[in-house]
Amino acid sequence: MTDKSLWRGARLATLDGAQPWGWVEQGALITEGEHIVWVGPESELPAGLTPAAEHDLRGAVLTPGLIDCHTHLVYGGQRAREFELRLQGASYEEIARAGGGIRSTVAATREADADQLLRLAQRRLDALTAEGVTTVEVKSGYGLDLESEARCLRTARALQGAQVRTSYLGAHALPPEFQGRQDDYVEAVCAWMPQLQREGLVDAVDAFCEGIGFTPAQTRRVFEAARALGLPVKLHAEQLSDQGGTQLACEFGALSCDHLEYLSPEGVQALAASGTVATLLPGAYYFLRETKLPPVAALRAAAVPIALSTDHNPGTSPTLSLLLMLNMACTLFRLTPEEALRGVTQHAARALGLADRGRLAPGLRADFCVWDVEHPNELSYYFGRNPLLQRVWGGKVT
Ligand code: NIG
Ligand code: FE
């Protein structure tokens, strides 16, 4: 007896190989421990297989586990009042400049104790995993002092039920104690980095390069500190204006540039040349009632890999549904349903620098979802419906 498990009677969207969707109509998949060891047509299953468990999926669709590659899951409080103010005409920038916005979440996060932060973040993660998320990226950026940033990153690492990757986003906003001393704060962000890395809390370094965030020159300093420590970078880039942050991030071989509504043609070329993923965040676009669309056709023409994510955060994207982002990416950004699914699997994995997931292929992690649909295009079609039947994470039905 082995610890192999067989999944058969599946319609497979492997996202592997040259076929659209990596489609296998009458498919089977074998797992062993945490990994996939075989994928293919059921008719070609290896002879003499004696699996410890067998699951007949009766024609259900099986896809890779979903990956939410850009979230701010750890924070205190919420910003519904700010939403009301924006509905009355205040802009996101105006609120931020008046000391609201990110800063108000920083105050609430600093006040919350570690247990509270974990309880809140775990509930948010539970909502994501209930829709098939198996890997999630979580950023700091609401602590903005060494101890609070460390607390948020430790909280992220303590989350249960999905694999967590953490990004250090000290350069998210200027904390009140550094008012008028933006460059000093950037120095502090860089100085805290080695300590956070030593504690094993940092998989990547992120920054918010924007008029209300940090300048390209300040972002460069953060990236140089990351490079000196061998840490990969990613960037909140061209969300509200074109700062050329994307070109800068690509100079540093960034894993991803995220948002990108104001991305220029030069930015598109930089992404293509460096192999950096463009992560689109339709939730923030929608919730800020943005009207400038990210240049999807140009990204597509330049063969830039496009990822999608919730960007879950209390200010610009309080959604906890990655499936809803598939629908919004199609309706708002005109992605195809196949591009949308690849955006939350294959390309989201790449945005996190993870080569061991995001497709269904031998040797990759056994993270996958079984859906009550006839075709994977339905994952983008429905909104507000969760057709997840089963989530398998590391070979275990969870
Ligand atoms: O991804 N743009 C900066 N960061 C977040 C918003 C954070 C907030 O408003 O709290 C974003 O949209
Ligand atoms: Fe974000």
Shortest-distance ligand to the CA of residue 208: 1
CA pseudo-torsion sign 320, 385, 69, 130: positive
Q: Which of 172, 206, 287, 310 to mutate to test the pocket of ligand 1 (most atoms within 8 A of CB)?
A: 172
Q: Which residue type sits at 374?
A: E
State the pLDDT at residue 264.
98
Ligand having the closest approach to the CA of 283: 1
Q: How many CA atoms within 13 Å lie on the side-chain side of 348?
A: 33
Going from the Cα of 386 to the center of ligand 1, the distance in angstroms, rounded, reads 26
Please give the chain's pLDDT, 398 residues, in tens: 569 999 999 999 999 999 999 999 999 999 999 999 999 999 999 999 999 999 999 999 999 999 999 999 999 999 999 999 999 999 999 998 888 899 999 999 999 999 999 999 999 999 999 999 999 999 999 999 999 999 999 999 999 999 999 999 999 999 999 999 999 999 999 999 999 999 999 999 999 999 999 999 999 999 999 999 999 999 999 999 999 999 999 999 999 999 999 999 999 999 999 999 999 999 999 999 999 999 999 999 999 999 999 999 999 999 999 999 999 999 999 999 999 999 999 999 999 999 999 999 999 999 999 999 999 999 999 999 999 999 999 999 99
N-to-C CA span, the chain? 23
* pLDDT score recorded for residue 98: 87
3-class DSSP assignment, residue 361: coil
Q: Which atom, in ligand 1's list, is nearest to the CA of 317?
A: 12
Q: Which one-letter amino acid corresponds to residue 260?
A: L
Measure the CA–CA gap between 314 and 2, rounded to whole angstroms: 46
Question: What's the CA-to-centroid distance between 86 and ligand 1, angstroms?
Answer: 15
Q: Please tell me the residue having the least CA distance from ligand 1 atom 3.
A: 208
pTM of the model: 0.98
Identify the DSSP state of 65. Answer: P
33 backbone φψ class: left, alpha, beta (φ>0; ψ -120 to 50): left
Cα 239 to the chain's mean position, in Å? Answer: 16
Ligand 1 pocket residues where CB is under 6 Å: 101-102, 105, 208, 236, 239, 284, 311, 313-316
Pocket perturbation via mutation, ligand 1, pick of 105, 208, 238 by most ligand atoms within 8 A of CB:
208
Q: What order of strands is seen across the sheet that includes strand 306-308?
A: 234-237, 256-259, 277-280, 306-308
Give the ligand with the smallest distance to the CA of 100.
1
Dihedral, 331, 301, 312, 129 alpha carbons, nearest 10? 80
Token pair for residue 324?
Answer: 């809803």
User: CA distances (Å), 65 to each of 207, 344, 349, 369, in order?
Assistant: 27, 9, 10, 5
| Secondary structure class of 9 (helix, strand, coil) | strand
CA distance 298 to 132: 30
Task: Tell me, in angstroms, the distance from the centre of ligand 2 to residue 384's CA.
Answer: 23
The reported pLDDT for the residue numbered 99 is 83
Joined together, the tokens standing for residue 362 give 């031998």
Atom of ligand 1 nearest to the CA of 311: 1
For ligand 2, the distance from its centroid to the CA atom of residue 11, given in whole angstroms, is: 34
Compute, in angstroms, the gap from residue 57 CA to the centroid of ligand 2.
37
Q: What is the structure's pLDDT at 131?
A: 98
For residue 36, what pLDDT is reported? 98
Residue holding tokens 């990108």? 260
Distance, CA of 372 to CA of 393 (rounded, Å): 18
Q: Which atom of ligand 1 is nearest to the CA of 92?
A: 9
Q: What is the distance in A from the centroid of ligand 2 to the CA of 286?
A: 14
∠ CA 276-308-273, rounded to 5°? 15
* Residue of 134, 131, 269, 277 lying closest to 204 (CA atoms): 277
Ligand closest in space to the Cα of 138: 2
Please give the distance, rounded to the nearest whole angstrom, from the Cα atom of residue 379 to the centre of ligand 2. Answer: 24
